[in-house]
Structure 1
Amino acid sequence: MSEPLFRDPEASVADRVRDLLSRMTLTEKVGQVNQRMYGWDAYERTPSGHRLTDAFRAEVAAYDGMGALYGLQRADPWSGVTAETGIGAADGARVSDAVQRHVVENTRLGVPVLLVEEMPHGIQALDGTVLPVNLAVGATWNPELYEEAAALAAAQLRSRGGHVALVSALDLVRDPRWGRAEECFGEDPYLAARFTEALVRGVQGPAGERIGPDRAAVVLKHFAGQGATVGGRNSAATELGARELHEIHLVAALAGVRAGAAGLMAAYNEFDGVPCAANRHLLTGILREQWGFGGLVMADGLAVDRLVRMAGDPVAAGALALRAGTDLSLWDDCYPRLAEAVGRGLVEESTLDTAVGRVLALKFRLGLFEHPYAGARGADPARMEELSERLARESVTLLEHDGVTLPLAGRRVGTVAVIGPNADSVPQQLGDYTAPQRPGTGGSVLAGIRAAAPDGTVVSYARGCGLIGGDRPDLPEAVALASAADVAVLVLGGSSARESDTRFDANGAAVVASGNPVEMTCGEGVDLAELGLPEGQSALLEAVTATGTPVVVVLVQGRPHALPDLTDKAAAVLSAWYPGPWGGRAVADVLFGAAGPQGRLPVSVPRSAAQLPVFYNGKDHGYRGYVDQPATPRHPFGHGLSYTTVAYGTPRLSLPSVAVDRFDGAAPTSCTVGVVNTGGRPVRETVQLYVRRVLGGTSWPRVRELRGFVRVELAPGESTEVTFPVDAPALASFTQAGEWAVEPGEFAIETGPSSQRTRAARLTVTA
């Protein structure tokens, strides 16, 4: 008897899906769109090793198969999985294979299961290599480096038996009070789009029907607008019009779709009153009909259950999400009842078939029917560590500098006082969605400084204050150390480190209410009303800067904190974001001059929460500012200093006037700017291109919009010219007709080192 068509690896994915669907029962189909079980409930650790649980076997039996299993290898305080109970690198492939073997060998059709893992900044599993958080990655302005790191993370995932990587990429920091700001590449859609493309290329490999054995399918989170919730409140409402949605919040998603992303995750928030998981206009009208997306859409955790309030009961809620375009559930109680929804006539079985087909297609693309078990060789851990540290180093952003204090190696520094609640804590460098680290992994800023300091340098340390609240019992010790030192390095900021006593919502978000002593100031569920440093840190900053010793402030943070004016207080201010385990070495390299600061702000740094929103690319209504403070940010998007000086010439256009129909093909004009290193140190400069509509158009223009960036290396005294194409994507707006178009008018084509330091050339687009 010949093998069925779906078993033929030479057949097309579409034909194999069609054949397999024709053989499936309604119960089996429902099983394929369910991801109901938590992966850590599928196994238990015994003295002789890991064994599959009866609960897992029952789940497989209930649907004669399993569509996907989330978080088999996840470890963190929410899952309750520890280094003692979880799955380390040595056992990852074996346990994954045991899960897969049970599903393949104990079901009628033997359809493999998708093993889905969080990979926000490296796989969230024991012994998984941790990368800096996305906000730090965005500060590098180096998508090529991130692509390389993402590829190695995918290889690590596949070597342990995982198939699908869930990665935040689509959200933007439109309100830094939002606790998940650290998961964003920044506030700008163009910057986020370039990193999203790099992510897809890195994780999935070359575009094509098949995904290689050392690559993974990527599901991009979250679609769409989750970074624009009112008040920076997690999972709340948005107030977005069509233009804001398309011009800001869908740009990265469209870039990811065009790059070939296997899937998108529907966001928790609602758009125009309809939750994303039930929003047919978003998931079907835009994503599939306008963009032609053929991959799968996954619900966020328990998001479909939230629809019961709209639909009336779980069966109707599941039908509502399925009709809208949600293909795969996550932990909810609604999708397991889709057979009942079909029976009640709430949704057609053909609609279910479409969703099942997308899940099956991904399994075929991954080659799971031919090679269901782990077989890929993992990434070199040393290379992964190297890339993590390099990303951290390139993300360090010099915000302020007196021009003389840094680098420390260039000064006579005999004593360095390292002070602050983030100075000696690796966990507080890691960010949210991080597995427990093995003892000895990475090093703190204090450890990095001690290792980097020249022989004979005395490095002293005091914590100075607590991370949160006003507690500062060792403030006198910190002040004494700073007073006696040649320079003080004050390491402040926040933490997303989950602790064993942290409480969590059912979907894993931290519950950190007002007055809760848990030391989390950022992360999922940890939104802030105020963005200034906590009382204790502010007092420490005031006391240490008052000593007269040169003070270098290093901010380890997952969001831009609102900073006071430190011009006459601190000698330098750097943001290290959450730089990962090896971020301490990276910060020390920049402080001592082994590396120059290369980071550029992916977000605007506010003066206070009261002036929000402060993102640079708002609508240009010419607002003059508040009475009591300016409306401008403390530090603008794109800003970042170096240890030298760089001068920019006036940009030049190859053609200053172009007819609108010339924008149908290749760029009809280009912008060239000269850049020269006028200082005494080498520099890696990020040259930025912005576009500002001056006159014309059918919608109100934005202040300016990033449309390109190039990183150049310049020796002292060296100059170069950078040329940017000025094409349709650079000038197009989302019009009243509901499409992208270049409209006649006048544009300022601007270049410079940041969004607030530009020079312009005028371009006329004629009808």
Structure 2
Amino acid sequence: MPTPDHAAVPPAADRPRYLDPTAPVEARVRDLLSRMTLREKAGQLNQRMYGWNAYRRTPDGGFELTDALYAETDRFEGLGALYGLQRADAWSGVDHGNGPGAGDAAALADLVQRHVVERSRLGIPALFVEEVPHGLMALDGTVLPVNLAVGATWNPELYERAAAHAAAELRARGGHVALVSALDIARDPRWGRTEECFGEDPYLAARLTEAVVRGMQGEPDGAPAGRFAADKAPVVLKHFAGQGATVGGRNSAESELGPRELHEIHLPAARAGIRAGAAAVMAAYNEADGMPCSGNRALLTELLRESWGFEGLVMADGLAVDRLARITGDKVSAGALALNSGVDLSLWDEGFTHLAEAVVRGLVAEEVLDAAVARVLRLKFRLGLFDRQGAPAPPLPARGRELSTALARAAVTLLRNDGTLPIPAAVSRIAVLGPQSATVAHQSGDYTAPRHPGTGTSVLDALRTLAPPGVDIRHAPGCALTGGDLSGVPEAVAAAAASDLAVLVLGGSSARTPDTEFDANGAARTAVSHMTCGEGADLAGLELGRAQYALLAAVAATGTPTAVVLIQGRPHVVPDTAGALLTAWYPGPWGGEAIAEVLLGLTEPVGRLPVSVPRSAAQLPVYYNHKDTEYGGYVDESAEPLYSFGHGLSYTSFEYGPPRPAGHTVEVDITNTGHRHGRSVAQLYLRRLRTPVWPRTLELCGFRAVDLAPGETRTVTFPLGADLPGRGTVVEFRVAESARAALTAVPTQSFTAPDETPL
């Protein structure tokens, strides 16, 4: 941004160095910091407002700023950061009638920024921070499939392209910083936020975390201090760390994590994201060994900064700093604890508003405050916020729908198939049934902005469009997502009985409505009737609504070949009563199109499970990479998951040869033994045979997708990375199409990793 409009631009010789765009970033930070008062410094670390409270619509359709924004900027002579200026959902109350859309969001951002700069004695702009959990959470923003669906693609390259699109949308609308779920590992599918995880495995999550950082941030010139391109956005990776290990799958509950479990399972994705250049991380809500992450110096400073060398920003999660008052006794000392522990930027807390007082009282050293302020200012300079005010926003990117649909298509996972799919050409009558069959409202997951009516494609709509001419498609919902009302089942059964094939679309929903009761941080306090997943919607069991099971049983009893499609944000327990079963997770607004293509055989099913699917909640945990002990079965049911991590069927078949060590790589030959073109996702697993500590059964350490024509054989090569086991460890590798298959697959010859190898 240039110098604010209300001040004349001084001659270069008289210009403060922090306003010189040719000066190095670090020099500009030091110069500006030296000119700031204690009050101004504290203001840079506060992100108190909900962004939707900063503006309101005017009768002529424009925007005006609110007294709440005036009061907040006057309090600290400026504004450090503003959360959610673009956010729209049931919690914020923002919709198409009162919020900024694609056409006027950039103008609103400019209006707010000009006010912030004018109120700042030194002309310091604010960071505009937005939620980008699966696409930009804003009116007219592109909605992508949720993270669990992204995990099912096993395709970091595709996700990187989608992430780049999301960053470009954010910047085109005047936003700066993206809050991105990436670091939580799904260890208990009862947790409502399972949909925000890439899966249960740290290696898969690490590769996808790298992809989102590369896609959204690009390659800053001279990183880590270089500038971000105008269509790139710094990423805040959340949540750091161990939030996916909450006890009982309950949101924000305690986590019972030892240091080894934390480092082996819950930290690799964060480590990978930081190595990729992530600009920031968000401290999680959970506690580790008795200390909440936002007050955990061992985690945020000793590990993150001193051991890993992280130089970026640490943000607290919403109201997490004030929770520390339970430990410190009051909010002033709670803010001091968080700052001393390594938090740089608060989110809605009162504690950080008292940082100047904390310095005066000796609770915080001013040099600690200065270090945090410098990190905030550094990010603002890297974004060019002091040098670009008034510059036109970059154009909104195209291809959003195309990328969202491509991700959805890659996520569709075929779990079981007795030949029912793909739908045979001889089928002339199809019954499309179930509560998810004709709606797009429940395809997008939590943290989704309202959509214009008609946006998206349901499974029913897509089948009617894509099915061959002359195919008679009948529809009946049968039941609702929740509850036990069976009044619609007879109509659905009649449609199935009169058809050649039934497509039964079941699942859950994370969609919120205005009558949802919210906590102060936006989590659902009481889920509305249809809501079975999302933040604050945890389950004790993993069942669908009661009527859905009755509908499934009744349709299957007709004898009509049936394919069940699951649209869901977590694994649910579904009986093996249908000929085919596939899951699309929450595939986004256009997911119906991707599902229909797979059902009809227009595209191949290429998704693979990012989480193990249990037979019941009583089995939990069922993740594949447990410690290598002799797990016995239960008296009343198997201890094995119904479908294991990595599982996914194709419309063809593949044969794997034995893996071969070749220098610092492992090779395997894969043959398409079927009659259709297909894609196999080859998964490389490590098994430790002798190691200083008790090992896990298997550990994913590589994957490669390979496309093969019928009868074609290709050699797939896996490079062995430097972060594999240390020297002296006796290891073997196995290559298979799932974790369960790897247990019985032919291993490489075991060997001891010598000093000179990367093992």
TM-score of the alignment, normalized to the shorter chain, above 0.5: yes
Match of 2:196 in 1: 183
SS at match of 2:587: coil
SS at match of 1:728: coil
Please, which of 380, 383, 394 is the counterpart of residue 410 of structure 2? 394
Match of 1:750 in 2: 734
CA distance in 2, matches of 1:546, 1:19: 76
CA distance in 2, matches of 1:50, 1:60: 18
Please, which of 88, 110, 116 is the counterpart of residue 97 of structure 1? 110
Q: Deviations over 1:8-64 (max 9, x none)?
A: 222222211111111000110011000000000000011121111111012111101
Match of 2:239 in 1: 222
Please, which of 450, 461, 468 is the counterpart of residue 475 of structure 2? 461
Q: Does residue 597 of structure 1 match 2:605?
A: yes
Q: Is this contact kept in 2: 1:175–1:612, CA < 8 A?
A: yes
CA distance in 1, matches of 2:230, 2:512: 33
CA 1:446–1:296: 2 relative to 1, 3 Å:
same
CA distance in 2, matches of 1:311, 1:65: 29
CA distance in 2, matches of 1:372, 1:166: 23
Please, which of 28, 35, 48 is the counterpart of residue 36 of structure 1? 48
Q: Deviations over 1:176-208 (max 9, x none)?
A: 000000011111000000000000000000152
CA distance in 2, matches of 1:743, 1:536: 56
CA distance in 2, matches of 1:116, 1:373: 19
AA of the residue aligned to 1:704:
L
Quote the offset at 1:452 in angstroms: 1.2
SS at match of 2:104: helix
Match of 1:114 in 2: 127
CA 1:29–1:698: 2 relative to 1, 3 Å:
same
CA 1:631–1:478: 2 relative to 1, 3 Å:
same
AA of the residue aligned to 1:761:
T
Match of 1:609 in 2: 617
Q: Is this contact kept in 2: 1:563–1:606, CA < 8 A?
A: no
Match of 1:562 in 2: 573
CA distance in 2, matches of 1:626, 1:33: 53
CA distance in 1, matches of 2:440, 2:459: 8
Quote the offset at 1:653 in angstroms: 1.5
SS at match of 2:324: helix
Quote the offset at 1:524 in angstroms: 0.3
Match of 2:549 in 1: 538
Match of 1:167 in 2: 180
SS at match of 1:617: coil
CA 1:373–1:124: 2 relative to 1, 3 Å:
farther
Q: Is this contact kept in 1: 2:652–2:672, CA < 8 A?
A: yes
SS at match of 1:166: strand
CA distance in 1, matches of 2:137, 2:720: 40
Q: Deviations over 1:81-101 (max 9, x none)?
A: 111011111110000000111
Match of 1:15 in 2: 27
TM superposition score normalised by structure 1: 0.94
Match of 1:738 in 2: none
CA 1:47–1:766: 2 relative to 1, 3 Å:
closer
Match of 2:278 in 1: 261
Match of 1:624 in 2: 632
CA distance in 1, matches of 2:82, 2:374: 17
Match of 2:141 in 1: 128
Structure 1 gaps, min length 5: 655-667, 733-741
Q: Deviations over 1:607-639 (max 9, x none)?
A: 100000011111111112111111111000000
CA distance in 1, matches of 2:723, 2:749: 18
Q: Deviations over 1:522-554 (max 9, x none)?
A: 000000000022211111111111110001000
Quote the offset at 1:346 in angstroms: 1.0
Q: Deviations over 1:413-462 (max 9, x none)?
A: 11111111111111100100000001111111111111111111111111
1:291-330 matches, within 5 Å, as 291-330=308-347
CA distance in 1, matches of 2:664, 2:276: 26
Q: Deviations over 1:80-128 (max 9, x none)?
A: 1111011111110000000111111232100110000000111110000
Match of 1:736 in 2: none
1:266-281 matches, within 5 Å, as 266-281=283-298
Match of 2:5 in 1: none
CA RMSD, Structure 1 to Structure 2 (Å):
1.1
Match of 2:752 in 1: 765
Structure 2 gaps, min length 5: 1-12, 755-759
Match of 1:477 in 2: 491
CA distance in 1, matches of 2:236, 2:687: 33
Q: Is this contact kept in 1: 2:230–2:394, CA < 8 A?
A: no
AA of the residue aligned to 2:282:
M
CA distance in 2, matches of 1:376, 1:674: 50
Quote the offset at 1:756 in angstroms: 1.1
CA 1:422–1:154: 2 relative to 1, 3 Å:
same
1:686-765 matches, within 5 Å, as 686-694=681-689, 696-730=690-724, 732=725, 742-758=726-742, 759=745, 760-765=747-752
SS at match of 2:103: helix
CA distance in 2, matches of 1:405, 1:475: 22
SS at match of 1:100: helix
Please, which of 333, 354, 364 is the counterpart of residue 337 of structure 1? 354
SS at match of 1:155: helix
SS at match of 1:90: coil
Q: Deviations over 1:542-594 (max 9, x none)?
A: 11111100010000000011233x1xx21110001000010010100000111
SS at match of 1:78: coil
Q: Deviations over 1:203-233 (max 9, x none)?
A: 0001522211110111001000000010001
Match of 1:239 in 2: 256
CA distance in 2, matches of 1:372, 1:328: 23
Q: Is this contact kept in 2: 1:214–1:376, CA < 8 A?
A: no
CA distance in 2, matches of 1:56, 1:166: 22
Q: Is this contact kept in 2: 1:83–1:436, CA < 8 A?
A: yes
Match of 1:739 in 2: none
CA distance in 2, matches of 1:260, 1:373: 29
CA distance in 2, matches of 1:766, 1:597: 38
CA 1:374–1:452: 2 relative to 1, 3 Å:
farther
CA distance in 1, matches of 2:542, 2:458: 24
CA distance in 2, matches of 1:59, 1:304: 19
SS at match of 2:640: coil
> Which 4+ runs in 1 deviate beyond 6 A?
none
CA distance in 2, matches of 1:726, 1:336: 49
TM superposition score normalised by structure 2: 0.95
Quote the offset at 1:7 in angstroms: 1.2
Quote the offset at 1:517 in angstroms: 4.9
CA distance in 1, matches of 2:258, 2:644: 25
CA distance in 2, matches of 1:378, 1:224: 36
CA distance in 1, matches of 2:528, 2:155: 37
Q: Does residue 385 of structure 1 match 2:401?
A: yes
Quote the offset at 1:762 in angstroms: 2.4
CA distance in 2, matches of 1:463, 1:478: 7
Q: Is this contact kept in 1: 2:459–2:596, CA < 8 A?
A: yes
SS at match of 1:589: helix
CA 1:296–1:373: 2 relative to 1, 3 Å:
farther
CA 1:597–1:105: 2 relative to 1, 3 Å:
same
Quote the offset at 1:766 in angstroms: 5.2
CA distance in 1, matches of 2:579, 2:417: 6
Q: Does residue 672 of structure 1 match 2:685?
A: no
CA distance in 2, matches of 1:628, 1:761: 36
AA of the residue aligned to 2:35:
R
Q: Does residue 651 of structure 1 match 2:659?
A: yes
Match of 2:458 in 1: 444
Match of 2:92 in 1: 79
AA of the residue aligned to 2:710:
P
CA distance in 2, matches of 1:723, 1:763: 18
